[in-house]
Structure 1
Amino acid sequence: MAFEGLADRLQRTMKKITGKGKVSEQDVKEMTREVRLALLEADVNFKVVKDLIKRIKERAIGQEVMESLTPGQQVIKVVKEELSELMGGEQSKIAVADRPPTVIMMAGLQGAGKTTTSGKLANHLRKKHNRSPLLVAADVYRPAAIDQLETVGEQLGMPVFSKGTDANPVDIAQEALEKAKEEHNDYVIIDTAGRLHVDENLMDELDQIKAAVKPDEVFLVVDAMTGQDAVNVAESFNDQLEISGVVLTKLDGDTRGGAALSIKAVTDKPIKFAGMGEKLDQLEPFHPEGMASRILGMGDVLSLIEKAETNVNEKQAKELEEKMRTMSFTFDDFLEQMGQVKQMGPLEDLMNMIPGANKMKGLKNAQIDEKQLVYIEAIIQSMTKDERQDPSLMNASRKKRIAKGSGTSVSQVNRLLKQFNEMKKMMKQMTNMPKGKKGKGMNLPFM
């Protein structure tokens, strides 16, 4: 995660103040000093840090916190709310045209990931909102950009409007808009040219495209790994082009996260999406509150729900719940669930989204070895259909056959069978549990 260093430091700082029955002004000063240093280290704009610390201090020393029964927790609540507000407060959704198509213009410097992000956005709109976007190749200066967008379109099975490198980008954008109306595409995503730096020619062309097609959104794509440079680029583009939102790429990389925490404050434009990996399904709507929670180790329920809604079939989920309740959950069902979980992204990222997971015994700083899932799949796939439906059929010779077929040992097969049975019992308890009661933690059968 992008904020790993910042998150570790802030979580250590917050831990010192959490359990305090009484919080003094000196405690708040020490805490805000640590927060300030952590933010500056994460490459957050120093003016932004100064204003943020001032607001946190004022609220944390206020009567509402000091006289609270849980002042330590109130201070953390203040820090979380202010971090969330710094990044925009609430999710900023795409503006939709009164009459389709909705036009989104993608701008940014060369190398920021603009072309790939255009494809990711089109994929998101189709998967999440059941839309039919048209991708437009308007970067005529870099033939590779046109080829790349056409390749992305082919991978996604989506139309790409292109007129090659000899056409005028403004004409391309206008003709693409007409084409979208004819073909009933409800979104038009225009991949414009980039440069290695902000220059007059680039801005003139972008201004002309903007004037010609009157986009509903102008998204600036910036590389989160460039830190404060990303903020400076955003400020320049916003001054000259009047962007409507920002898409941060490589937010999953080894970056300190300063750009995400500074851009909204500097440009007054929201972060709309975040690229969380190289795959075409790794673009997430940006939830400021969820990101603030993740930074402070509180999870990100909104993003987790969104991932689940995108990847989990509702009908299958209801059928699964019934199977869990009646204890008729089989290895076939488990295999299907593993596939859906894997589609949601790396397990470590999912664990970061679960509230309190970082505090659970055995999970804090746990390195989840996803290779183990391969062994589990191999064991299940080496079973016969009857064995998957009824694991009680397993005798010594069957287990030996399964171990040999899956490239594992009999002890690994036994372990999976034991944990699977325990999981089924736990599932039944959880589905039959009265609302409001807490159940025990469930161990998934990871070997």
Structure 2
Amino acid sequence: MVASTRIPMIVEPFVSERAKKTLDLVEQFVEKECIPREALYQAQLGTGEARWAKTPVVMEELKAKARQLGLWNMFLPKNHFKEGAGFSNVEYGLMAESLGKCSIASEATNNAAPDTGNMEVFAKYGTEAQKQEWLVPLLEGKIRSAFLMTEPDIASSDAKNIQLDIRREGNEYVINGQKWWSSGTGDKRCKIYIVMGKTDPTNLDPYKQQSVVLVPAGTPGITIHRMLTVYGYDDAPHGHGHLSFKNVRVPVSNIVLGEGRGFEIIQGRLGPGRIHHAMRAVGAAERALEYLIARANDESRKPFGAVISSHGVILEWIAKSRIEIDSARLIVLNAAVRIDSADAKAALKEIAEAKVLVPQMALTVIDRAVQAHGGMGVCQDTPLASMWAKLRTLRIADGPDEVHLSQMGKRENKQRKEEVTAKIQWQKDEAQRLLTANGFPKSQL
């Protein structure tokens, strides 16, 4: 199947011929190289503590092949960055869908979170020295990184609550506090943490209290207490760490952009990242649908003497899944077009729509596939259970659905209440006038 047959007509004018060719390469790489090697990757990881001590050899082999094919750093949009492969958000979004079908494909092409968002931070806000020290090796895939924002014991969905203390003493910042859900901190290749905390807790503007600093992994005073699991999955070798900082010292030059600029940085980071997550979720849903169709037509398993596709409810699941996936894809690509035409700030509504709708859609489709597989669907014999667990976190990560819905509702109401109220009142008045003019009694409109 060539790329042009998979690109929605509405966004095809935004997709270059180069991107279409690359999209074909990405799909072939994922389907023929990455997916068949998922099981080998897990086998090479091993069990127990060994899972945190090494990187599977097959990953480095895939990386080398991806670089040979030119499938590397596609995520940095050409409209805003010079460091990437020269694609737009729409073009990368289509590629991210293919990458989302396989748990190891994004890393194999150096398009994996949290590195993607962190590289955007360095590229957009970093000094030349910070770029040379951290961005260059990240772009080369020689190191990995982590983004530390969420904290235990507070409601981190409101970032103003973050309590990590970053205090300046002379030419250093001294850091004290805790972080958790720090993805990537279990990886031995993780060399740099991008950390958000408070440098000015008394500032009357709560959005100017936060700053972002760079903390090299292994700096004295950092303790990794544990790796958190997601429905029992440890996500090794990267993991999600619970860390504490006790009098951790970094030079003042490690500040990003400047003190009090934390909210500005995280909004610039999270906007594109949310649609990356969303488009990968579309890919995961596509793979789940493939599993659903395959199971529905499995001749070796015939409950009550017939393949389950003979039952109307299964065909209904397949049809609904197709509609929901295609609808969700358009929501994400619409956000990507909006970002490409302006920036992430101009696309707040569209990004929020994708962030809320797509994970819910993907979970629904995956759950249908799980149900069709029965006991096999909830164990390790298919990727479905792992996919569901990972995607369930997306309804919380980068802001819970409820926060986005509340913000969207406030924005929509504020922007439209006067216009809509006036329009409806005029329509009522005009209807009443027409009734009276034509000799009809007044109506309660």
TM-score of the alignment, normalized to the shorter chain, above 0.5: no
The alignment's TM-score, normalised by the length of structure 2, stands at: 0.25
The alignment's TM-score, normalised by the length of structure 1, stands at: 0.25
